Amino acid sequence: MIKVHREICAYCGCCVSVCPDGALELVDAYLDIDMNACKDCGICVRVCPLGALEAKK
Amino acid sequence: MKREYDVLVVGGGPAGAFAAKTFAEKGYTVLLTEKRPAIGAPVRCAEGVGKTLMHEFLKPEDSWVAAEIEKANIIAPDGFTMELEPEKAGSEVGYVLNRKVFDRDLVWMAAGAGADVQVKTRAVSPIMEKGEVKGAILNQGGSTYEIRAGLTIAADGVESKFSRWCGVDTTVPFREIETCAQYLMTGIDIDPNATDFFVGNLIAPGGYVWIFPKGDKIANVGVGIGGDRSKPGNRPVDYLNRFVAKNFPNGKTIELIAGGVSVCQPLSCTVANNLMIVGDAARVSDPLTGGGIYAALYTGQLAGDVGSKALENGDTSSHALMPYDSTWRSSYLGKALERNYQIKEVFIKMNDEDLNAIIHSVSKMNLTDFNTLNLIKSIISANPKIAIKLGKAGLKSFIDSF
């Protein structure tokens, strides 16, 4: 699963655009993750410009 | 409260605002929704735009323009600077905008033309009937309601979800997202009328560092790198911090801006039944420069023109809307996107030695008619090695054909 470090996230939506499963959504000033849709591919974790996302086993 | 409109525009950036303005001017009822509480904030942009491109649509207000750019510097990995001074050749360069003011004024123009505007209002899903989009379910301040529309415009930016919900895959391949971090800095010693572009695999792999002035001693200083080059300790913000520590140790950061820019090819189709996709959501930002303002204005206005005709004829099927897709693809914009995509594919694979060689050779040329295409053609003619690489990729004849 993906954890959002909200104190790091600048809610830019970069991760949302690359999610192949449509599991992320930028709702105004926070990121919403649909854990049922997320397949733990880790792409969002890699592209985040600030390192706000973490893959958690 | 009105629940039915001719046109629903999802997203209040430049593309959405221009679409809404165009439809409203033609007498259609329009609702523009923006999920954020304010139009234009937070900024996710380096704010540069070409002068001549912008003048196609708008006469810039003083309040939009933070700086007028007369010169661009391209700095090679070895530190050599190539200066491009098109002013001397009689052509113009660009503006660095205040997007917070610019975006807001565009939405005001749409409102002035008659469009309704709602902020802090998010489209949570399309209304789908028999496989066709019939508007959207909106959430405004916690309450949910339906807005029905004959035509819906997806202008929801790089993080676009609306089109995906309607069945159009908008996923950006992760090697084709340019992941970016930028500081708005003050107290830095810069040329207020020149943009700087630094290239090199040590400072910005698969991208570049930019300094876009916004006044005396003020600038957007940012870095974009390829999504596949980003890793812990070497993320855009890390590259940016290293660049700033080295070049502007005494500068002060008054804003942190993060963002993603798609540098992939545009969506394979930007219309569906009762749906048009515009701006960054259509993946029409420039794959080489990352610029997206011109493409947003162009596609927004074109969607308004083509969509209005479709509404007038009572047929908003994908077939009736297709002239929007085919027109932008065959336009200056569509051709530039195609060409710059191919060039980008070569650029991101270059090592620092290639980059140094190119920049040194081009600096010796006298580029009288400056534009990206002429620059590229000059690079190719002066660099047999690069020409061979392009030839191997099947690109040389492609570029020569322009």
Q: Which CATH class is domain B4-44+100-172+264-330?
A: alpha beta
Task: Give the single-character DSSP code of A43.
Answer: H
Return the SS3 of B396: helix
Rounded Cα gap, residues B146 and B123, in angstroms = 10
Check residue B380 and give its pLDDT. Answer: 73
**B171 — contact with chain A (CB < 8 Å)?**
yes
Overall average pLDDT of the B167-187 stretch: 97
What is the residue-averaged pLDDT of chain B?
Answer: 92
Rounded Cα gap, residues B362 and B357, in angstroms = 9
For residue B6, how many other CB atoms are within 10 A of its CB? 19
Q: For chain B, which residues make up each domain, given as ranges?
A: 4-44+100-172+264-330, 66-94+175-262, 347-400
Is the predicted pLDDT of residue B361 greater than 90, yes or no? Answer: no
Query: What percentage of residues in chain B have a pLDDT greater than 90?
Result: 81
Q: Which amino acid is at B400?
A: D
Check residue A30 and give its pLDDT. Answer: 93
Check residue A56 and give its pLDDT. Answer: 87
Just give the CATH number of B66-94+175-262. Answer: 3.30.9.10
Using only C-alpha atoms, what is the Rg of chain B? 21
Taking only the tens place, the pLDDT of each residue in B195-239 is 999 999 999 999 999 999 999 999 999 999 999 999 999 999 999
Taking only the tens place, the pLDDT of each residue in B90-123 is 556 899 999 999 999 999 999 999 999 999 999 9
B176, B264 Cβ separation under 8 angstroms: yes
Mean pLDDT is lowest, of B193-202, B272-281, B350-359, B383-392, for B383-392
B258, B181 Cβ separation under 8 angstroms: yes
Taking only the tens place, the pLDDT of each residue in B371-384 is 666 777 777 777 77
B376, B400 Cβ separation under 8 angstroms: no
Q: CATH number of the domain at A2-55, out of 3.90.79.10, 3.40.50.720, 3.90.1150.10, 3.30.70.20?
A: 3.30.70.20
Of A25, A28, A49, the CB nearest to B237: A49
Of A16, A27, A47, the CB nearest to B122: A27
- Tokens standing for B383? 């660099």
Check residue B392 and give its pLDDT. Answer: 65
Closest residue in B to A47 (Cα–Cα) = B227
Mean pLDDT is lowest, of B20-34, B256-270, B351-365, for B351-365
Rounded Cα gap, residues B292 and B262, in angstroms = 10
Contact B230 A49 (CB under 8 A): yes
B160, A14 Cβ separation under 8 angstroms: no
Of A19, A22, A49, the CB nearest to B179: A49
Is the predicted pLDDT of residue B154 greater than 90, yes or no? Answer: yes
In this prediction, residue B191 has a pLDDT band, given cuts at 50, 70 and 90, of very high
- The residues facing B136 across adjacent strands are B126, B147
From the centroid of its chain, how far is CA B9? 18
Query: What percentage of residues in chain B have a pLDDT greater than 70?
Result: 92
Q: Could you give phi then psi for residue B277, rounded to 5 degrees?
A: -115, 130
Of A11, A18, A50, the CB nearest to B181: A50
Handedness of CA B258, B100, B120, B149 (dihedral sign): negative
Taking only the tens place, the pLDDT of each residue in A6-57 is 999 999 999 999 999 999 999 988 999 999 999 999 999 999 999 999 998 7
Q: For chain A, which residues make up each domain, given as ranges?
A: 2-55
Check residue B401 and give its pLDDT. Answer: 58
**B340 — contact with chain A (CB < 8 Å)?**
no
Q: Could you give phi then psi for residue B394, rounded to 5 degrees?
A: 75, 25
**B124 — contact with chain A (CB < 8 Å)?**
no
Task: Give the distance from residue A49's alpha carbon to the nearest chain B alpha carbon, in angstroms.
Answer: 5
Contact A14 B158 (CB under 8 A): yes
- Chain A from 15 to 34: CB within 8 A of any B CB: 15-20, 22, 25-29
Task: Give the single-character DSSP code of B88.
Answer: G
